[in-house]
């Protein structure tokens, strides 16, 4: 006779194990401890077998009956329910292995990544991660395990790769959490345990006193064979200088990344896949950069803003750095060094907050926890900061149009914000004191965001 729910609920423990049958091979095994286990007795290939369905009350009488019926259906198909259950468990465990989840994460992202970058990411995993924790269930991996794995990379001196590795593993765990395979990211808090980064090797850059000559050299650049190639290279250099971006970000700039060029707040939106830190980066564009883009738009019919010699290809990796060499700056100034010049100018001004400067440079926040919670973009103050920088460059490249001369002639103290621009206040004589300026508030009251 089939069991009733109350019989199951109030089945009391005895000195010996005993069974309560529900029919069809399904029974409840009651242990002397009082625990209750659902089991199914069946025959397969002439042998008697037992299949466990789980403990009551987690598995109710109704659920146990459903499982019995599913097992009977498998037997009708000539399949062993116990072997089928084991195979499902093996497949589930295979899916929950770190390597399986990491490959699923990579496949989910690969379409949006630069192919070369996507290959580097998975190669790094295959070399340094999968051999160590690839077969481990993702939910069981601990922070010490990950740290031990990273230590092996640090031991061969690859400190930059070790940090990138930790970042990639963290992204896999976040994917696993979102997919229901894990509940925590054990990489959080590991930064303090990693070996410190090696001292930063600053890219060559000229002094502030030599900066005006560098800007004029870019303006007058004539180191290419054809006028068209000269102009593209010249504009790429100037655009990189105006926007504080990395060389690759200028090289691969496409027209569909630019927004609101005809408005008061033009913007360049770079996707995470284009950025070193793999986060979206927004560049508020000063009018000088917009003017340059409009000129390039009139003169090119390519998806890239700065096209190379072949249609559909950007300028080469070496185009801009070779231009620096041709201008006489070999060993003295690199294109990446433009960012250092901009950072030095902004920090020495003492009127731009470090957060604005670091955000403009698309740097990663050294404080991991703070970086996770600080979502401020500082677009308005960054726009004013880049405008001041662009105005200063204008003073050098177009002194007659602005109303003054670089060489020792004072400039009118007017700016788009109603105060003297950084460039104008710092140029009593550009030869000797190009960007010295008095301290001044960067924002009007109530505008600090």
Three-state secondary structure readout of 405-429 = CCCCCCCCCCCCCCCCCHHHHCCCC
Q: How far apart are CA 353 and CA 355, in angstroms?
A: 5
Mean pLDDT, range 141-156, rounded to an integer: 93
Q: For residue 187, give the nearest of 368, 48, 334 by alpha carbon.
A: 368
Provide the pLDDT confidence category of residue 93 given band limits of 50, 70 and 90: low
Answer whether residue 358 shows pLDDT above 50: yes
State residue 365's pLDDT score.
Answer: 55
Among 34-48, 232-246, 321-335, top mean pLDDT goes to 232-246
Please give the pLDDT value at position 371: 43
CA distances 28 to 38, 62, 69, 385, Å, are: 5, 13, 16, 75
Q: Give the pLDDT score at 349.
A: 86
Q: What is the mean pLDDT of the chain?
A: 82
pLDDT score for 279? 75
Q: Which of 336-372 are b and which e, b meaning 16 or more Cβ less than 10 Å from the residue's Cβ? A: bbbbbbbbbbbeebebbbeebbbbbbbeeeeeeeeee
Whether the per-residue pLDDT at 222 is higher than 60: the answer is yes
Is the confidence at residue 435, as pLDDT, over 60?
no
Cα(130)–Cα(135) distance, rounded to whole angstroms?
Answer: 7
Catalytic residue chosen out of the listed positions 339, 382, 383, 437: 339
Q: Which of 103, 336, 417, 436 is catalytic?
A: 336
Least confident of 46-60, 243-257, 328-342, 359-373: 359-373
Domain 98-193 CATH assignment equals 2.30.30.60: no
Distance, in Å, from the CA atom of 245 to the CA atom of 250, rounded to the nearest integer, reads 7
Domain 5-93 matching CATH 3.30.160.390: the answer reads yes
Q: Are 373 and 345 in contact (CB under 8 A)?
A: no
CA angle 202, 427, 204 (to 5 degrees): 15
Query: 437-447 pLDDT, tens per residue?
Result: 434 444 443 33
Q: In angstroms, what CA-CA distances link 380 with 3, 214, 264, 360?
A: 72, 29, 12, 11
Q: Show contacts of 215-219: CB within 8 Å, 24+ apart.
A: 215/241, 215/393, 215/396, 215/397, 216/396, 216/397, 217/327, 217/328, 217/329, 218/327, 219/396, 219/397
The distance of Cα 196 from the centroid of its chain, to the nearest Å, equals 21
User: Which of the four pLDDT bands, split at 50, 70 and 90, describes residue 419?
Assistant: very low
Pick the catalytic residue: 86, 117, 313, 363?
A: 363
pLDDT at 448: 37
Q: Which of 170-179, 313-322, 405-414 is predicted with the least confidence, judged by mean pLDDT?
A: 405-414
Whether 216 has a pLDDT exceeding 50, the answer reads yes
Indicate the range of 44-53, 98-107, 372-381 predicted with least confidence.
Answer: 372-381
| Percent of the chain at pLDDT exceeding 90 | 50
Q: Which long-range contacts (CB under 8 A, 24 or more apart) does 352-357 make?
A: 352/381, 352/385, 352/442, 353/378, 353/381, 353/442, 356/381, 356/382, 356/385, 357/385
Domain definitions of the chain by residue range: 5-93, 98-193, 208-366+376-396
CA-based radius of gyration for the chain: 33
Instruction: Report angle CA 130, 368, 172 to the nearest 5 degrees.
Output: 25
Q: Residue holding tokens 């009956």?
A: 65
Class of domain 208-366+376-396 (CATH, top level): mainly alpha
Q: What per-residue confidence (pLDDT) applies to 96?
A: 82
- Measured CA to CA, the distance from residue 137 to residue 118 in angstroms comes to 24
* CA distance linking residue 163 with residue 177, whole number of Å: 21
Residue of higher predicted confidence among 447 and 162: 162
pLDDT digits (tens, 9 = 90+) for 120-129: 889 999 999 9
Q: Average pLDDT for residues 185-201, to the nearest whole number?
A: 81
- In whole angstroms, give the CA distance from residue 203 to residue 260: 33
Residue 363 bears catalytic tag: yes
Q: Is 246 a catalytic residue?
A: yes
276 is known as an active-site residue: yes
Q: Identify the residue whose tokens are 């621009």.
A: 421
How confident is the model over 7-18, as pLDDT tens digits?
999 999 999 999
Q: Which of 49, 109, 124, 276 is catalytic?
A: 276
Phi and psi at 91, nearest 5°, equal -65, -40
Under the banding of pLDDT at 50, 70 and 90, the label for residue 290 is very high
Distance CA 187, CA 372 (A): 13
Mean pLDDT for the stretch of residues 40-47:
90
């Amino acid at each position: 006779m089939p069991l009733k729910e109350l019989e199951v609920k109030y089945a009391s423990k005895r000195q010996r194990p005993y069974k309560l049958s529900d029919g069809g091979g399904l029974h409840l095994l009651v242990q002397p401890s009082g625990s209750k286990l659902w089991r199914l007795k069946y025959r397969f290939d002439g042998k008697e077998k037992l299949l466990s369905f789980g403990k009551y009350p987690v598995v109710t009488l109704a659920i146990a009956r459903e499982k019995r019926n599913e097992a009977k259906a498998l037997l009708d198909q000539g399949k062993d329910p116990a072997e089928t259950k084991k195979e499902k468990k093996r497949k589930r465990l295979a899916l929950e292995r770190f390597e399986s989840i990491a490959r699923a994460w990579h496949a989910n992202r690969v379409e949006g990544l630069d192919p070369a970058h996507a290959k580097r990411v998975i190669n790094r995993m295959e070399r340094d991660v999968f051999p160590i924790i690839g077969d481990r269930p993702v939910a069981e991996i601990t922070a010490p395990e990950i740290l031990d794995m990273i230590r092996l990379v640090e031991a061969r001196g690859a400190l930059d790769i070790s940090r990138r590795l930790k970042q990639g593993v963290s992204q896999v765990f976040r994917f696993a959490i979102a997919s229901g395979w894990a509940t925590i990211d054990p990489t959080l808090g590991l930064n303090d345990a990693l070996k410190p980064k090696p001292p930063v090797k600053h890219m060559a850059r000229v002094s502030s006193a030599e900066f005006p000559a560098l800007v004029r050299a870019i303006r007058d650049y004539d180191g290419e064979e054809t006028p068209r190639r000269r102009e593209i290279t010249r504009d790429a250099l100037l655009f990189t200088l105006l926007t504080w971006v990395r060389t690759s970000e200028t090289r691969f700039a496409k027209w569909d990344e630019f927004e609101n060029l005809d408005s008061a707040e033009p913007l360049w939106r770079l996707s995470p896949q284009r950025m070193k830190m793999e986060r979206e980066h927004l560049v508020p564009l000063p009018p000088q950069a917009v003017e340059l883009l409009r000129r390039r738009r009139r003169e090119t019919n390519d998806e890239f803003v700065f096209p190379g010699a072949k249609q559909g290809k950007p300028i080469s990796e070496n185009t801009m750095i070779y231009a620096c060499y041709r201008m006489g700056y070999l060993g003295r100034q690199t294109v990446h060094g433009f960012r250092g010049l901009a950072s030095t100018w902004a920090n020495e001004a003492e009127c731009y907050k470090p957060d604005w400067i670091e955000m403009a440079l698309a740097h990663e926040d050294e404080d991991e926890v703070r970086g996770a919670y600080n979502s401020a973009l500082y677009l308005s103050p960054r726009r004013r900061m880049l405008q001041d920088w662009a105005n200063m460059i204008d003073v050098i490249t177009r002194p007659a149009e602005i109303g003054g001369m670089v060489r020792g002639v004072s400039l009118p103290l007017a700016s788009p914000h109603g105060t003297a621009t950084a460039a104008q206040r710092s140029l009593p004589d550009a030869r000797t004191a190009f960007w010295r300026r008095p301290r001044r508030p960067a924002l009007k009251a109530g505008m600090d965001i």
